[in-house]
Amino acid sequence: MVPQVNSEAVQRLEKAVTKSQRSRSVRFPIGFVRGDDPPLAKMMRGGQGGESRLRVYLLIRMMATAAPHDVPITATDIAACLGFPDPPGVGARRVNSALKVLASREHNLVAIEAPPGRTRTMKILRPDGSGEEWNDGDLKAPYITLPIALWKKGWLLALSGRALAIFIVLRELTGGRKANGAWADGIRKRQYGFSDDTWTRASEELRDRGLLTVDRETYQSQGEPRQRNVYQLHLDVLEDCRPFEHPLDPMREKARPRRPAKPAGVPIRKASRVQV
């Protein structure tokens, strides 16, 4: 199911990107995505709860730009940036539930500091789940880069959790290349920790939104012809279009209805910009 994108949340998210002073990308170590029970796949388990955890984590990870990589922010503000439910307290409870799991010993991705009388601080730990302090400046290549447009353009809010997760996986699989595709055999796919159903449904969503091409390629294995999927991401769409703007996006008209005709003699006021 495609999330409903809240325009106020997109504005808040864009302002958060501007405040972070990031202009190109957010980097992650390979171990966040691939390995023995990688943190990304572990985070996603649990249905909608996994999706909420991923959105909350990616937001804080983007905002924490320099050592010690901590962000003073309330659960209410996080919920507003992510467009979580509007009723008082509902979105904040969803954020707190996600943070509780992310900070647990099982995940060890964030540390929460709550000094009396002050806003809680969310501190990013090593993205491999070791629980150690993280310093982005120590990250050595190869690593995964996620374009800042994922946040700035609002794609973080417009893609389902599984599509976001597989997008990150495909950034690792393709090695960050903008041209030529990549494929994954059964062993490589198991290292990512996602089921075939998740791969299929997420790939279909990314393809439908114009962000991915999946081609069938024939190759030889032990003298026998076999077929495999070859994946190619289209980062130009991510960077040039906001969600639902791409001409091939089947949700385009439904998600972005045309502005009603202006009644004679009645001016249409522009919406005011919402502050974080």
- Return contacts of 253-261, CB within 8 angstroms, 24+ apart: 255/2, 255/5
The position carrying tokens 């957010």 is: 26
Q: What does the pLDDT read at residue 228?
A: 84
CATH class as words, domain 161-255: mainly alpha
Distance CA 168, CA 145 (A): 9
What's the burial of 35, exposed, middle or buried (CB within 10 Å: 0-12/13-18/19+)? middle
pLDDT at 247: 79
173: which residues sit within 8 A by CB, 6+ positions away? 182, 184, 188, 231
- Sequence-separated (6 or more) residues with CB below 8 Å from residue 175: 142, 182
Query: How many CA atoms lie within 13 Å of 5's alpha carbon, on the beta-carbon side?
Result: 25
Assigned token pair, 32: 């966040």
Q: How many CB atoms lie within 10 A of CB 113?
A: 12
Cis peptide before 142 (omega within 30 of 0): yes
What is the model's pLDDT at position 255?
55
Distance CA 164, CA 40 (A): 10
- Both tokens of residue 68? 């010690």
Which helix (H) or strand (E) segment holds residue 254: the answer is helix 252-255
How many CA atoms are closer than 13 Å to the CA of 233, on its beta-carbon side?
Answer: 21
- Residue-by-residue pLDDT tens, the chain, 276 positions: 556 677 899 999 999 999 999 989 999 999 999 999 999 999 999 777 899 999 999 999 999 998 899 999 999 999 999 999 777 789 999 999 999 999 999 999 999 998 888 889 999 999 988 899 999 888 998 999 999 999 999 999 999 999 999 999 999 999 866 666 798 888 999 999 999 999 999 999 999 999 999 998 877 676 677 788 899 999 999 999 998 887 777 777 555 544 444 444 444 444 333 333
Please tell me the distance from the alpha carbon of residue 48 to that of residue 35, in angstroms, as a whole number.
24
Domain ranges of the chain: 7-146, 161-255
Q: What's the rounded Cα separation, in Å, for the pair 36 and 61?
A: 22
Contact call for residues 183 and 28 (beta carbons, < 8 A): no
Q: Write down the pLDDT at residue 229.
A: 87
